[in-house]
Amino acid sequence: MKTRLAVALAVALGLAAPLYAADKAKPAAPTAAKAADMANNPFAKPSTLAFQYPAFDKIKNEHFAPAMEAGMVEHRAEIDAIANATDEATFDNTIVAMEKSGQLLNRATTVFFSLSGANTNDTLEKIQSEMAPKLSAHQDAIALNPKLFARIESLHAKRDKLGLDAEGTRLIERYYTDFVRAGAKLNDADKATLKAMNAELATLQTNFSQNMLKENNASAVIVDSKDELKGLSDEAIAAAAEAAKQRKLEGKYVIALQNTSGQPALAELQNRALRERLQKASVGRASHGGEFDNRAIVAQVAKIRAKRAALLGYENHAAYTLEDETAKTVKAVNDRLAQLAPAAVTNAKKEAADLQAMIDKEKGGFQLAPWDWSFYAEKVRAEKFSFDESQLRPYFEFDNVLKNGVFFAANKLYGLTFKERTDLPVYNPDVRVFDVTDADGKPLAIFLVDWYARDNKRGGAWMNEYVSQSALFGTRSVVANHLNIPKPPKGEPTLLTYDEVNTAFHEFGHALHGMFSNVKYPRFSGTSVPRDFVEYPSQVNEMWMTWPEVLKNYAKHYKTGEPIPQALVDKVTAADKFNQGFETTEYLGAALLDQSWHQIKPEQAPEASGVLDFEAAALKKAGVDFAPVPPRYRSAYFSHIMGGYAAGYYAYIWSEVLDADSVEWFKENGGLTRKNGDHFRKTLLSRGGSQDAMQLFKDFRGRDPDVKPLLERRGLTAK
C-alpha cells in the first residue's frame, strides 16, 4: 500500500486528511529566530542531490518544525495571492498556480511523515502531536477559502470551453470535486463545525497510531527458554534471541508482533500454550485497558466521521468515501462482500473439519482454536501435498529475492536495470539505495529498500514517495518500499517466508506505479488514483513471484546455490487454493468490520466499553463470525481504517477482480515479455490519476472486468 504524506493541496483536501488535525487558529508568522533557523535548514531549498533525493545526513529533528512553520506561511501567502487576485480567473493563474504552490511545506512534510512511519523517535512523535493542529488550520484555510473556491468554480463551469487538453480539464474537475468534498459549499457556521470535527479526528488518529507502535512493542511475547520455541527454525530462534538482547533480556527470547491478528510463528510453534499466549496477545492488543487502549478512540472516531458525513450531506461516512472511488456506492460494496462471504465461510468450515480431523488423529483431545489453525494447516498441507512452508525459506534469501527476483522480473517485463549506490545518505543503516535506469538507458528513478523490522517502525508494509514525477516541475520519482522482516543476528542470512516474498513483489508493484508515472501535474502523479484501484497494479505484480522464469532465477538454496526443486514447485502450485477459505474469511471479516463502523449514524456509535460487542455483532450480522477465524484486524489495532483506508479496506478484493482478470490477459498473451510490459505501462501504469481509473483498465484489457478469474483463484466457484 502507498502513503502520500506531503501537504500539497490535493493532500490537504482529503486524500490523506486523517494524518493531520484541524484548528481554527491561523499559523503564526515565523519569528526572527525561526527565520534564522531556516537559513541553514536543509528544507529551505530543493535538495541538490540526484533527483532531489533528501539530504538525510543533514536533516535533523530540529529542522522539521521550523520548516513546516515557514512552509505554511509561504504557502498561505501564495494561496492568498491567487484567491485575492483582481484579474479574471484562468487555468494558469489559478489551477496551475495552486499546483506550483507550497513546495517548502511539501518538502518538509513529505520527509517528516515518511520518517514518522519508518524511523520515528520521541522527538518526532512530539512534533507530530504539536504540528497537527497547525497543519490542519492551514488545510482548512485553503479548502474553505470562499474567494479561492469562487475562482475554481468559475473555471469549472466553463472548463470545456478553455481549449485545454484532457489532463488540464480533468485537473479543474478534480480541484472542484476536492473542494466541494472538503466543505467549500457549507455556510460559515457549518464550516466552523467541520473544522472542530477535523481537529478532534486528527488528534484521535495521531494518538491511535502512536498507541499502536507502543502497544506492539509492549505486547511482544517474552519466552524464558529455548525449549518452548520447539518447531521454529534456527534462524527464527536466533532472531528471537537477538530481539531479546536488544531489550536487555539476555538469555530470553522475544517474539515481536506483526500488524495482523495471525502471527507467523503460530504455524511452527509446537508448544500449544505458547501459541495460545501469542494469539491472545495479538488479538487483545489495545483493547485490554491500560495506557495504550484504543477502544475509546475507535468509538469516537466512528461517531465523528458519521457526524461529518451528515454535515456534508451524506447518509454515512462510507457513502461519502465511496462516492469518490470506483465502487461509487455503499450498495455496490455491500453486494460484492455479500457475494463472497457465504462461500468463503463455507470453505473455511470445510478446512476447519480437516484440521480437527488431524487434531483427533494425533489424539490431541481439544477443539480447534484460532491459535491452532496455522499450525495444523501446515500439517494438513504436508499430508495433502507433501510439503510445508518451512521447506521454502532456504530458497528465499533476501538479496536473491530482491535482485534476482523482483528486479529481474522488472528487467524482463519493462527493460529496467538497477545499480546499488552507497554515496547517498540514508536515515537508517538498514536502508539500501538503487539507481533505476529505463530501457532507453536514461535515468528513471531512485529506489529505497527498507525491509527490516525495527521497534521504531510501524508495522505492515507500504510504499511512499519522497519525490513524485511531474512534467510541470521536471521531477522524477524517488520511491521507497518498506517491509517488516525480522532482522537476523549479524552474519546470519535473511531468509524470507513465502508471504514476505509475495509482499516484496506487491510493494514493488506500487513502486513501479510511481516510477512509471508520466503526467504533467503533481495532482495526478503515480498512485494518485482511487483507493480501490491503487492496489490493483501492485497485486498484478505479485504474479511474477511464481512465474517459472522468475522463480528459477531467484529461488536458490542460500547454502548450496541449488535451484528450488521442480517437485517442490509443483507441490506449491498444487496447493494454490489450499487454506483459501481461511484467508478469504479473515480478510472479509476485516473488510466487513470496516464497513460496519462507517455505515452507522452518529447515535449508533458505541461507547468505549461497547466496542468489542459492536464488533461481535457486526461479524455475526455479516455471517463471518466463525470463531476459529478471527478477522485479519480487530478494531482496536485496525490501523488501515484510522488512515486512508477508512471505509476502503474492501479495496484489496475489489482490486483483485481487476488483478485476476489482468493476470489472465498476461497469460493469454505470452506472459513475461517486453511487449506485454510496455502495453501495461503505456495504457495504465504511466497515466496515474490523469484519466478515469476504470477507463484505464479498459484501455489495457480491452473490455470491462470479469469477476470469474477471482472466484476461480480463491476457490469460490460452485463445486
Residue 389 phi/psi, 5° resolution? -65, -20
In one-letter notation, the amino acid at residue 398 is F
Q: What angle do CA 383, 384, 390 make, to 5 degrees?
A: 65
Considering only CA atoms, which of 648, 74, 609 is closest in space to residue 328?
Answer: 648
Residue 481 is assigned to a structural domain of this protein:
yes
Enumerate the β-bridge partners of residue 397.
Answer: 495
Q: Which helix (H) or strand (E) holds 268?
A: none
Residue 619 is assigned to a structural domain of this protein:
no
pLDDT of residue 9: 32
Averaged pLDDT of the chain: 93
Q: Are residues 109 and 228 in the same domain?
A: no
Residue 506 is assigned to a structural domain of this protein:
yes
Give me the mean pLDDT over the 413-425 stretch: 98
* 388 band by pLDDT with thresholds 50, 70 and 90: confident
Q: Are residues 208 and 260 in the same domain?
A: no
pLDDT of residue 387: 87
Q: How many CB atoms lie within 10 A of CB 437?
A: 16
**Structural contact between residues 297 and 203, judged by C-beta atoms closer than 8 angstroms:** no
> Distances in Å between the alpha carbon of 528 and those of 1, 325, 421, 451, 650?
12, 12, 28, 24, 18
* 7 band by pLDDT with thresholds 50, 70 and 90: very low
Q: Are residues 168 and 27 in the same domain?
A: yes
Residue after which a domain boundary falls, among 490, 509, 531: 531
pLDDT of residue 201: 92
CATH number of the domain that residue 180 is part of: 1.10.1370.40
Count of all residues that appear for the chain in the document: 719
Q: How far apart are the first and last CA of the chain?
A: 33
Residue after which a domain boundary falls, among 531, 562, 581: 531
Please give the grid coordinates belonging to residue 288. 485490554
Q: Are residues 420 and 527 in the same domain?
A: yes
Integer Cα distance of 533 and 522 in angstroms: 18
Report pLDDT digits (tens) over 220-267: 999 999 999 999 999 999 999 999 999 999 999 999 999 999 999 999
**Structural contact between residues 481 and 506, judged by C-beta atoms closer than 8 angstroms:** no
**Structural contact between residues 233 and 393, judged by C-beta atoms closer than 8 angstroms:** yes
* 137 band by pLDDT with thresholds 50, 70 and 90: confident
Residue 329 is assigned to a structural domain of this protein:
no
Report pLDDT digits (tens) over 39-54: 899 999 999 999 999 9
Catalytic residue positions, numbered: 507
Integer Cα distance of 208 and 458 in angstroms: 12
Integer Cα distance of 135 and 65 in angstroms: 11
Task: Give one DSSP letter per residue of 634-669, joined into a string.
Answer: -GGG-GGGGTTTTTTTTHHHHHHHHHHHHHHHHHHT
Task: Give one DSSP letter per residue of 576-605, joined into a string.
Answer: TTTTHHHHHHHHHHHHHHHHHHHSS-GGGP
Does 301 score more than 50 pLDDT?
Answer: yes
Residue 329: partners with Cβ closer than 8 Å, 6 or more residues away: 319, 322, 323
Q: Are residues 156 and 197 in the same domain?
A: yes
Does 504 score more than 50 pLDDT?
Answer: yes
Residue 174 is assigned to a structural domain of this protein:
yes
* 718 band by pLDDT with thresholds 50, 70 and 90: low
Question: In the chain, what percentage of residues exceed pLDDT 70?
Answer: 95
In one-letter notation, the amino acid at residue 51 is F
DSSP strand pairing (443-452 vs 253-255): unpaired
Q: CA dihedral defined by 669, 670, 671, 672, rounded to 10 degrees?
A: -120
Report pLDDT digits (tens) over 521-545: 999 999 999 999 999 999 999 999 9
pLDDT of residue 21: 25
pLDDT of residue 133: 80
Q: Are residues 513 and 474 in the same domain?
A: yes
Entry pTM: 0.91
Residue after which a domain boundary falls, among 238, 257, 283: 283
Q: Is the CA virtual torsion 93, 94, 97, 102 positive or negative? A: positive
Q: Are residues 242 and 196 in the same domain?
A: no
pLDDT of residue 643: 84
Report pLDDT digits (tens) over 622-634: 999 999 999 999 9
Report pLDDT digits (tens) over 195-222: 999 989 988 999 999 999 999 999 999 9
Task: Tally the domains of the chain.
Answer: 3
The whole domain housing 505 covers 393-531
Integer Cα distance of 385 and 573 in angstroms: 10
Question: In the chain, what percentage of residues exceed pLDDT 90?
Answer: 90
Give me the mean pLDDT over the 561-568 stretch: 95
Please give the grid coordinates belonging to residue 584. 478469504
